[in-house]
């Protein structure tokens, strides 16, 4: 039986790429009601036409507005927190706004969830939160820390918080796939650095990973999937093989390779068949932490450069064609 069956579920940022895919899946799993919480009434209107399901409710609201979250969380069992400012350039140019949404918004989610008696909250994170070099990554690292520590604030209440951290999503809004698809007709594709690597996951995989961890979570975990890496040149060849590739240099706030687990976190991380769990270092709120996994070796790091699984050009072509 699905963990969503007969539950009331709220998705912040519900009109985004992940939110729409998650809600579509949730509707097939016996959800009692699902609430789309987001700021954009046009996107909500368009989504309403697309889904046309009486179990969906649309709430206009901002995670910066705690009072609105209190109203929206009334009677909610599960919260998926997908709302964020996520574009690196926008966060760098509007740092106060990024902090308000990604950090203060996380605090508001936590306080509203505890006070309203929400059972489970999963927050979506990013590989950029691991050893961050830009403000977006820094705000998401702070958000991750808040959600982990939030379990200590619950007291006798039932609310539990966990985090899901994964890499670039194929075809999500603002990602490199739609950009390459759009620009390839010019005959020229800009490449930041031919050595660049990234973790790669599909929307379907991301949604399923969240659903799986709603079942697994006990409070305070950061769940990291084992997913393949890709080289930027292989991706460019998959999308625009006939184009000329021009090296333009790494953009400000960008890494050559991404990471999801670094050595210091690895000391309290467990490995499972297809995912890792970064355990909270100070889990004073519970003795029920996962213990079934395997400890990682000293010096372990999970980066897109040292990954053991890589996508070929042929696999990338297949993935991109489905976007």
Please provide the size of the chain in residues.
323
Contact 121, 81 (CB under 8 A): yes
Got the DSSP string for 182-236? HHGGGTEEEES-TT-EEEEE-HHHHHHHHHHHHHH--SS-EEEE---EEEHHHHH
Cβ neighbours of residue 244 closer than 8 Å, sequence gap 6 or more: 187, 188, 189
Contact 304, 198 (CB under 8 A): yes
Give the global pTM: 0.94
**Helix residue ranges per DSSP H, 94-202:** 95-99, 105-116, 135-149, 176-183
What are the extents of the domains in the chain? 8-166+201-226+263-297
Alpha carbons 323 and 316: distance in angstroms, whole number? 11
Active site residues: 128
Q: Which CATH superfamily groups domain 8-166+201-226+263-297?
A: NAD(P)-binding Rossmann-like Domain (3.40.50.720)
Q: Which residues pair with 277 in a beta bridge?
A: 223, 270
Query: pLDDT 10s digit of each residue in the chain, 323 long?
Result: 699 999 999 999 999 999 999 999 999 999 999 999 999 999 999 999 999 899 999 999 999 999 999 999 999 999 999 999 999 999 999 999 999 999 999 999 999 999 999 999 999 999 999 999 999 999 999 999 999 999 999 988 999 999 999 988 886 766 788 888 888 889 999 999 999 999 999 999 999 999 999 999 999 999 999 999 999 999 999 899 899 999 999 888 899 999 999 999 999 999 999 999 999 987 665 656 667 889 999 999 999 999 999 999 899 888 877 76
Question: Pairing relation of β-strands 160-164 and 120-124?
Answer: parallel
Contact 38, 61 (CB under 8 A): yes
Contact 203, 169 (CB under 8 A): yes
């Amino acid at each position: 039986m699905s963990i969503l069956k007969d539950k009331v579920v709220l998705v912040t940022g519900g009109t985004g790429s992940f939110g729409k895919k998650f809600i579509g899946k949730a509707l097939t799993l016996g959800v009692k009601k699902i609430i789309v919480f987001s700021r954009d009434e046009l996107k909500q209107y368009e989504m309403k036409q697309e889904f046309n399901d009486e179990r969906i409710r649309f709430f206009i609201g901002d995670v910066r507005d705690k009072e609105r979250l209190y109203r929206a969380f009334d009677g909610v069992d599960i919260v998926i927190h997908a709302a964020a400012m996520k574009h690196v350039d926008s966060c760098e140019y509007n740092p106060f706004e990024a902090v308000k949404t990604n950090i203060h918004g996380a605090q508001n989610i936590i306080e509203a969830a505890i006070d309203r008696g929400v059972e489970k909250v999963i927050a979506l994170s990013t590989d950029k939160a691991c050893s961050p070099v830009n403000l977006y990554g820094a705000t998401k690292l702070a958000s991750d820390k808040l959600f982990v520590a939030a379990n200590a604030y619950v007291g006798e209440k039932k609310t539990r918080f966990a985090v899901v951290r994964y890499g670039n999503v194929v075809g999500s809004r603002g990602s490199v796939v739609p950009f390459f698809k759009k620009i390839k007709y010019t005959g020229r594709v800009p490449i930041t650095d031919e050595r660049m690597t990234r973790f790669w996951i599909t929307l379907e995989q991301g949604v399923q990973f969240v659903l799986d961890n709603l079942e697994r979570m006990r409070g305070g975990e950061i769940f990291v999937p084992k997913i393949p890496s890709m080289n930027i040149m292989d991706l460019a060849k998959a999308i625009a093989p006939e184009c000329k590739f021009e090296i333009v240099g790494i953009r400000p706030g960008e890494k050559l390779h991404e990471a999801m687990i670094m050595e210091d976190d690895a000391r309290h991380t467990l490995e499972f068949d297809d995912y890792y769990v970064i355990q909270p270092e100070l889990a004073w709120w519970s003795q029920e932490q996962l213990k079934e996994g395997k400890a990682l070796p000293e010096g372990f790091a999970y980066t897109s450069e040292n990954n053991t699984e890589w996508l070929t050009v042929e696999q990338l072509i297949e993935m991109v064609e489905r976007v």
